[in-house]
Amino acid sequence: MSTLNLTLLTDLYEMTMMQGYFKSANHDVAVFDAFYRKNPCDGGYAICAGLDQVIDYIKNLHFSAEDISYLRGLHIFDEDFLSYLENFRFSGDIYAIPEGTLIFPREPLIKVIAPIMEAQLVETAILNIINHQSLIATKAARVCYAAGSDGVMEFGLRRAQGPDSGTYGARAAVIGGCKGTSNVLAGQLFDVPVLGTHAHSWIMSFPDEYTAFKTYANLYPSACILLVDTYDTLKSGVPHAIRVFREMREAGIPLTYYGVRIDSGDLAYLSKQIRKMLDDAGFPDAVISASNDLDEYLIESLKLQGAEITSWGVGTNLITAKDNPAFGGVYKMAAIQKEDGNFVPKIKISENSEKITNPGNKTIYRIYDKATGKIRADLICLADETFDEACDMNLFDPNEPWKKTRIAGGTYTLRELLVPVFENGKCVYDSPKVMDIQAACTKEKDTIWDETKRFVNPSRIYVDLSDKLYRLKHDLLNDMSES
């Protein structure tokens, strides 16, 4: 998708509002925050991904002659506005949390500061890209957490919601911790490892299972994982695989990476039986790999049952985040910058107090405990606030302000999460390679305790508001209720 012009990948209302601002000669600079409200799968965290595709999108943003002609044909847009679109480019600033970073609800993942027409247009595509990839990166991190030190392979392309759901989804899955993907296009586009062996159809295309295995082993002796469940796993598949491994050994072919894959049946029972058969036959280092509608819960359960599986192929449930297939990120106006340069904070109120937005031009500091390196809390504050690591810090939960904590000066370090990505329309950020993002993400995972990573009732990381931001928000709410 990266070579396509995605400028029209937007909701029609972004364009009708744009024309409205154009006709009203509204050139105010607006601040918009993209954030989410709830961790996927009731987890304790999420992982940010998709920024590199957002950068591509913003860089390529322009209305081609065909786009203008299409818009003209809708009979909604006037010629003066269409002329304006001809020379449209994104001219604003974008700040973002780097990919692979742990994120928590209500934090601006992306902040856009741009003339309101531009800031409005980009809403839909930014949300689409960030929502999708952050969802899959998060799901992958959960699956990899369940698998512990075992490798997890992303195998979901055929069940993904369209071509680039499978392809960008594979990218996000690798960021979240998968060792590779079956998707060759993702391998080509993102330089990530591609993995896979053969399907049942390979076995069925030969007169018998042994010949199919033998042919495969001759072709790919150095990565020889044989699928053993086409006919009968324990009576046919595994004995034939052992026969082939034995013949390889007798022929002096080194057995470097070899073993079996099971794709059906009771994986706990079968894997234990297979382990015994392989061990008894003198192949204790043969890998047992499994697939078949796996997810983090099933892998955790199989491990508890003592399943002898050390390599996991995860498809549908990962690539669609099946139990929670939408990330729910939103994009809300936070401030308008007037001609004097001052930001006028804006707030969206709601009957549901958790849906009330945080006003103002903001940033986020992550507070790490110096002794352990773990996250103590995140702090959302106004962009011009500064903090001194030598001073004590008072934190409180914005929804329950009586819950307070004091962090002693000198015991914590601060990291600003939002980094500049575009300045005056110019990209000022180099995206790391995907495998480097994966490595950074692995380190990120070490900044939270297992209590936050567990699947049931995870311990929450607090995201607090600075005193100044909290007061600003409450003053605005009071003004509204009085008006």
Residue 83, C-beta contacts closer than 8 angstroms, at least 6 positions apart: none
Dist. CA 58–CA 93, nearest whole Å: 11
Q: Which stretch binds its own copies (CB under 8 A): 38-46, 150-158, 364-372, 376-384?
A: 150-158
Closer Cβ to its own copies, 205 or 405, answer by number: 205
Q: 216 with 202: CB under 8 angstroms?
A: yes
User: How far, CA to CA in Å, does 152 sit from each of 167, 184, 200, 261, 363?
Assistant: 17, 17, 21, 13, 35
Among 239, 267, 463, which residue's Cα sits nearest to residue 364? 463
Closer Cβ to its own copies, 136 or 441, answer by number: 136
| Candidate list 84, 88, 210, 220; residue touching its own copies; CB under 8 A | 220
Residue 406: what residue type? R
Q: 85 with 160: CB under 8 angstroms?
A: no
Q: In the range 401-420, which residues lie near its own copies by CB under 8 A? A: none
| Count of residues that interact with its own copies, criterion CB under 8 A | 102
Q: 331 with 34: CB under 8 angstroms?
A: yes
Q: In the range 344-373, which residues lie near its own copies by CB under 8 A? A: 346, 348-352, 355
Q: Give the phi and the psi of residue 48 in degrees, each rounded to 5.
A: -80, 130
Q: Which stretch binds its own copies (CB under 8 A): 297-305, 321-329, 369-377, 415-423?
A: 321-329
Q: Which stretch binds its own copies (CB under 8 A): 123-131, 241-249, 281-289, 405-413?
A: 123-131
| Candidate list 195, 226, 288, 417; residue touching its own copies; CB under 8 A | 195
Q: Does 247 sit near its own copies (CB under 8 A)?
A: no
Q: In the range 81-100, which residues lie near its own copies by CB under 8 A? A: none
| Candidate list 93, 99, 123, 308; residue touching its own copies; CB under 8 A | 123
Q: Which stretch binds its own copies (CB under 8 A): 143-151, 177-185, 252-260, 304-312?
A: 177-185
Q: In the range 20-59, which residues lie near its own copies by CB under 8 A? A: 20-21, 23-24, 26, 28, 30, 32
Among 68, 89, 88, 91, which residue's Cα sits nearest to residue 78? 68
| Candidate list 165, 310, 413, 442; residue touching its own copies; CB under 8 A | 165
Q: Is residue 373 classed exposed, middle or buried when 0-12, 13-18 and 19+ CB atoms within 10 A define those classes?
A: exposed
Q: Does 202 sit near its own copies (CB under 8 A)?
A: yes
Q: Does 113 sit near its own copies (CB under 8 A)?
A: no
Beta-carbon count within 10 A of 183 CB: 29
Mask for 271-310, x = binds its own copies (CB under 8 A): ----------------------------------------
Q: Does 158 sit near its own copies (CB under 8 A)?
A: yes
| Candidate list 148, 163, 306, 420; residue touching its own copies; CB under 8 A | 163
Dist. CA 363–CA 18, nearest whole Å: 27
Rounded to a whole number of angstroms, the minimum distance from the CB of residue 449 to its own copies is: 30
Q: 344 with 87: CB under 8 angstroms?
A: no
